[in-house]
Amino acid sequence: EIVLTQSPVTLSLFPGERATLSCRASQSVSSYLAWYQQKPGQAPRLLSYDASNRATGIPARFSVSGSGTDFTLTISRLEPEDFAIYYCQQRSNWPLTFGGGTKVEIK
């Protein structure tokens, strides 16, 4: 099983600041990585897929990069609606797995 480790666990920032979230895989997942945003009481929302593609309707302030084992989600300037939990997910090997999540909270 591929383990995805997200860091930090919690990120405390002010609106307008830049957020940098990391996802590290226990073995290469090539580019087969997706990112999701989840708010309380809601299903996860797809942000990006295959390492660098933004999903439909996702603002340009969200960018992703990486391949192999190290991936980054960057939010260039945090808007109030961006405070949420973010998960990464791989499909390189079964079972499909998710990272433990990074909570982006208002400082």
Partner 1 sequence: QVQLQQWGAGLLKPSETLSLTCAVNGDSFSGYYWTWIRQPPGKGLEWIGEINLSGNTNYNPSLKSRVTISLDTSRTQFSLKLSSVTAADTAVYYCARRRSGTTPFDYWGQGSLVTVSS
Residues that bind partner 1 (CB under 8 A): 1, 32-34, 36, 43-44, 46, 49-50, 55, 87, 89-91, 94-101
CB of 20 to partner 1, least distance (A): 20
Of 19, 22, 18, nearest to 33 by C-alpha is 22
Closest to partner 1 by CB, 19 vs 34, is: 34
Report the nearest approach of partner 1 to the CB of residue 9 (Å): 11
Show Cβ contacts of residue 64 under 8 Å, excluding neighbours closer than 6 positions. Answer: 35, 47, 48, 51, 52, 54, 71, 72, 73, 74
Q: How far apart are CA 98 and CA 96, in angstroms?
A: 7
Task: For the CB of residue 14, give the shortest distance to partner 1 in the complex, in Å.
Answer: 25
Cβ closest to partner 1, residue 80 vs residue 95: 95
Q: Are 66 and 73 in contact (CB under 8 A)?
A: no
Question: Cβ closer to partner 1: 66 or 99?
Answer: 99
